[in-house]
A and B are shown apart, each in its own frame.
Chain A
Amino acid sequence: MITKEDVEHIGWLARIEISEQEKAEYMEKLNSVLDYFGQLDEVATEDVSPTYHVIDLHNVFREDVAAESLPQEKVLANTENKQEGAFKVPRIG
């Protein structure tokens, strides 16, 4: 069971602001989903290795060749918040 404090903590980790009212809602809905996930406890997996990738590829590399970058105006085209060629945000913390 996750608590209201857990919801707060997860919200902070995920940087999603959650209002007081939402906390209760999330608590309920998250718990019902996590409760469902709990059924995996029934599966014996002691000797099972995890599958991270379904394809058996390794050593996928590119060669060290420089290619053209995007022009600055295209890089900054999707934001209004820019100054002197840089992205601009308020102070951090």
Chain B
Amino acid sequence: MVYENPDGVMIGLEIHVQLNKLKSKMFCGCSTDYHDAEPNTHTCPVCLGLPGALPVLNREVVKAAIKVGLALEGEIAEETQFHRKNYFYPDLPRGFQTTQYDYPIVSKGKVVIEGEDGEHEVGIWRAHMEDDPGKLVHIGSIEKSKGVLIDYNRSGMPLIETVTAPDMRSPKEARRFLDKFRNILEYLDVFDGNLEGAMRMDANVSVYGGTRVEVKNISSHKGVEKALLYEIMRQKNVIRRGGEITQETRHFDEARGVTIGMRTKEEAEDYRYFREPDLMPMKVSDWTPKIKETLPELPDAKRARFIEQYGIADMHAKALTSKIMLADFYEGVCKKGTDPKQAATWIADVLLGELNYRDLVISSYDGSTIGCINDKDHSIANSTRVADMVDLVALFTDGKISDRAAVEVIRTILDGEEEKTPLQVIEEKGLFKAEDDLVTKAVAEAITENEAAVQDYLGGAEKSLNFLVGQVMKKTKGTADAKTAREMLVKELKG
């Protein structure tokens, strides 16, 4: 099956990723740990742009950029340097952004995604380093704002901007690209995607090979998908009505799910790029082999290895490797002797399903526990231990608990107010599978104690059997398997 792309949709993305796992900012020693801090407490003469202060580049920013470049199968530039991009905005304390222009550190990479019609390659035009501006808080709405408050704590945070080719043919492909891209970066351990502002996206989209429209500053993958769905519909309708698509930058109103044309500026910006005289050029391509050696196993490689090593289904391997922390958790469980196929089913199908149902995303794994946070309000949720998963799968495969009971255990661990082991949950809730003779006894009692129902059933009233099954369940306090109980009753009554 080949995807026809009936509307000729072409989508390109620009993704800003904040290297928030580094200790210090891009050009100064201010700590990157500002997310819960008071405004303007993580700033210094350099990131405030005070007159006379000078930038010195954080070596780890360059290393991270090379890592990203290698993971995206890109080329690392022989020589690279910074430029100034000159424009005025209150979040920009020097009146220019330090970025890369004609010599980006990474060029010509690619990412393979699950496309509309199977594997689909998305080209990476470039990835470059730049510094983050500060943060603006509008008093009231942007349009009717009474004023703007500026916090420069974010100013000077290191960013990597990745620019893709317009190779995505649907909003779904864009979403898939973003999921994969974020996953790769998390594998590289260069950023924590759960922190506010860690990943910001601009999407450009055109239909029928027409004019490109850019939708700026979207903060979530879902948001990008929604913005694109809306924008494609808008463009198609403009054309259907005989209108023309104008080249413009639009803003995505996440609450309303619509894109809005930003007021056109009275004149076009002219960024007057020129080389940053305060920073010297870099010749770092010879760092590449060493960095390559330290590169971790990436998602596609891990997925292939999981299938090979654990004999699990591709569907499971894909789900388990969709997040580095989940993959590590899975392997942690397998290392404890758990059957890898069972572990895959219980983690990929059940645990992941329950997490999704609760809007929880995995935010950490420390070798023994995965931590989760709520995707919507970023609150911290209950964690899940490797040891608990090992015990749970063992209890199930040993036939001590039913599959329903096992799911119940997982739910209780995720929802419970106290931290409990599976065994504690099972004991407290009496979830052990009933012994067979206990069921046999209950079946016999149910028959002798309910003669009328037995006669009705034998007379053809199937419903009466349900009543008898219910009696068995009652006598076994629900530990009997209902299906087994039914079979035993039928066998007893009809021979």
Which residues of A come within 8 Å of B, CB atoms? 9, 12-13, 15, 52-53, 55, 57-72, 75-76, 83-93
B418 to chain A, nearest CB (A): 37
Q: Chain A contacts of B32 at CB under 8 A?
A: 66
Secondary structure type dominating chain A contacts: loop
A69–B265 CA distance with the chains assembled, in angstroms: 36
Asked whether, in the complex, the Cβ of B57 is within 8 Å of the Cβ of A76, the reply is: no
Q: Does B149 contact A (CB under 8 A)?
A: yes
A89 and B137 in contact (CB under 8 A), knowing A53-B280, A59-B283? no
A-side contacts of B151, CB under 8 Å: 85-86
**Residues 1-45 of chain B, each 1 if its beta carbon lies under 8 Å from chain A, else 0:** 000000000000000000000111000111111000011111111
Knowing that A58-B280, A66-B31 touch, tell me 12 more A-B residue pairs with CB under 8 angstroms: A12-B266, A15-B88, A53-B277, A61-B62, A63-B58, A65-B29, A67-B30, A85-B41, A85-B151, A86-B150, A86-B151, A92-B145
Q: Contact between A88 and B283 (Cβ–Cβ < 8 Å)?
A: no
Pick the residue among B57, B148, B265 that contacts A61 (CB under 8 A): B57
In the bound complex, what is the Cα–Cα distance between A63 and B377 (angstroms)? 35
B119 within 8 A of A: no
Contact A59 B280 (CB under 8 A): yes
Q: How far is the CA of A30 from the CA of B147 in the complex (A)?
A: 36
Contact A72 B38 (CB under 8 A): yes
Q: Please give the distance in Å from A93's CB to the nearest CB on chain B.
A: 7
| B279 interface hit (Cβ, 8 Å) | yes
Tell me which residues across on chain A come within 8 A of B147, comparing CB atoms. 83, 88-91
CB closest chain-A residue, reference B279: A60
Contact with A along B149-186 (1 / 0, CB 8 A): 11110000000000000000000000000000000000
Q: When A52-B277, A59-B283, A61-B56 are in contact, do A91 and B31 touch as well, CB less than 8 Å?
A: no
Contact B38 A13 (CB under 8 A): no
Contact residues of B between 263 and 301, Cβ < 8 Å to A: 263, 265-267, 270, 272, 275, 277, 279-284
Q: Which residues of B contact A63 (CB under 8 A)?
A: 58-60
Contact B267 A12 (CB under 8 A): yes
Task: Report if B373 contacts A (CB, 8 A).
Answer: no
Known contacts being A75-B48, A76-B40, is A60 close to B57, with CB within 8 Å?
yes
Q: Which chain B residues border A70 with CB–CB below 8 Å?
A: 43-45, 48
Q: How far apart are the CA atoms of A64 and B21 in the complex, in Å?
A: 11
Number of B positions contacting A (CB below 8 A)? 54
The complex places the Cα of A84 from the Cα of B158 at a distance, in Å, of 26
The CA-CA distance from A65 to B23 in the complex, in Å, is 6
How far is A57 from B152 in the complex, measured between Cα atoms in Å? 31
B44 touches A69 (CB 8 A): yes
Report chain A residues within 8 Å CB of B42.
Answer: 69
Quick one: closest A residue to B86, CB to CB? A13
Judge if B138 is at the interface, Cβ distance under 8 Å.
Answer: yes
Q: Please give, as numbers and ranges, the residues of chain A lying within 8 Å of B45 by CB-CB distance.
A: 70
In the assembled complex, 16 residue pairs joining A and B whose CB atoms fall closer than 8 Å, in A order, are: A9-B267, A15-B88, A52-B277, A53-B277, A58-B281, A59-B284, A60-B280, A64-B24, A66-B24, A68-B29, A72-B40, A75-B40, A86-B151, A87-B150, A91-B145, A93-B265
Contact A85 B280 (CB under 8 A): no
Residue of A nearest to B63 (CB): A64
Taking the nearest CB of chain B, how far is it from the CB of A38, in angstroms?
Answer: 20
A10 to chain B, nearest CB (A): 10
B150's nearest neighbour on chain A, judged by CB, is: A87
The smallest C-beta distance from A1 to any residue of chain B, in angstroms, reads 19
By a CB distance below 8 angstroms, the chain A residues around B272 are 13
Highest count of chain B CB atoms <10 Å: which of A15, A65, A75, A90: A75
Which residues in chain B, 417-454, are within 8 Å of chain A measured between CB atoms? none
In the complex, what residues of A have CB within 8 A of residue B33's CB? 66
Residues in B neighbouring A72, C-beta threshold 8 A: 38-41
Given contacts A12-B266, A66-B30, contact A86 B39 (CB under 8 A): yes
Say whether B146 contacts A91, CB under 8 Å: yes
User: Quick check: B39 and A84 within 8 Å, CB to CB?
Assistant: yes
B90 within 8 A of A: yes
With a cutoff of 8 Å between Cβ atoms, the chain A residues found around residue B23 in the complex are: 64-66
Task: Give the nearest-CB partner of A68 in chain B.
Answer: B29
Beta-carbon contact of B270 and A84 below 8 Å: no
A92 touches B22 (CB 8 A): no
In chain B, what residue has the closest Cβ to A53? B280
Instruction: Across the interface, name the chain B residue whose C-beta is closest to A59.
Output: B282
Cα of A2 to Cα of B364 in the assembled complex, Å: 60
Complex interface bits, B132-150 against A, C-beta within 8 A gives 1, otherwise 0: 0000111000001111111
B29 touching A85, Cβ below 8 Å: no
Instruction: Verify B148–A52 contact, CB threshold 8 A.
Output: no
Q: Output the least CB separation between A13 and chain B (Å).
A: 6
Q: What's the nearest-Cβ distance from chain A to residue B417, in Å?
A: 36
Beta-carbon nearest neighbor of B138 in chain A: A91
**Contact, CB under 8 Å: B22 / A64:** yes
The distance in angstroms between the C-alpha atoms of A69 and B144, with both chains bound, is 34
Q: Is there an interface contact between B56 and A65, defined as CB atoms closer than 8 Å?
A: no
